Structure 1
Amino acid sequence: MNSFELKISFDSEEEAEIIYKAILLEHKSSQIRSSATMEIHKNIITINVKAEDLSILKASIYSYLRWIGVAKNTYEICKS
């Protein structure tokens, strides 16, 4: 089993919580060929991804990074 841990820190707890909630639905529905846990603690979101196939693991990580990027950009647009 291949695994990867991703920790992303944000400027504030509020930003981390909003982004966490924004990607939560995608997180729950993406567990087809990989499994992942996602936790939030203060201003840090931690994502642990596991997959049998390395290419599936990589695709899952890219998906999380894309979702977080979109959510962060949206948050910044709405905040300004």
Structure 2
Amino acid sequence: MNRFKLILTFDSEEEAKIIYNAIYLEHISSQIRSRAEMKLERNVIKIHVESPDISILKASIYSYLRWISAAQNIYRKVRECHSIE
């Protein structure tokens, strides 16, 4: 079994919770050819992915990174807009 653990530390608990909730549905629906566990602990998101196939593991990791990046970009834009007002 191939494994990968991703530990992401955010600036605040609020940001981590928002990112976690934003990618949660994608996380649930991605459990087809790989198995992943995702935990939120204060301002840290921990993701552990397992797959018998290394190419599936790689695709899963890239998916998580894309989802997190998109959610983080939206979070920052919203925060930016609110600080301007």
What is the TM-score normalised by the length of structure 2?
A: 0.93
The alignment of Structure 1 onto Structure 2 pairs a total of residues equal to 80
Q: In structure 1, list runs of 5 or more residues that go unmatched.
A: none
> Following the alignment from structure 2 to structure 1, what is the Cα–Cα distance between the partners of residues 49 and 61?
7
* 1:37-66, Cα deviation, whole Å (9 max, x unpaired): 000101000000000000000000000000
- TM superposition outliers: structure 1 runs of 4+ over 6 Å: none
Superposition RMSD in Å:
0.3
Task: Give the counterpart letter for 2:64 in structure 1.
Answer: Y
Partner of 1:15: 15
Q: In structure 2, list runs of 5 or more residues that go unmatched.
A: 81-85
Instruction: Provide the secondary structure at the position in 1 that maps to 2:49.
Output: strand
Partner of 2:24: 24
Instruction: Provide the secondary structure at the position in 1 that maps to 2:22.
Output: helix
Larger radius of gyration: 2
Partner of 1:37: 37
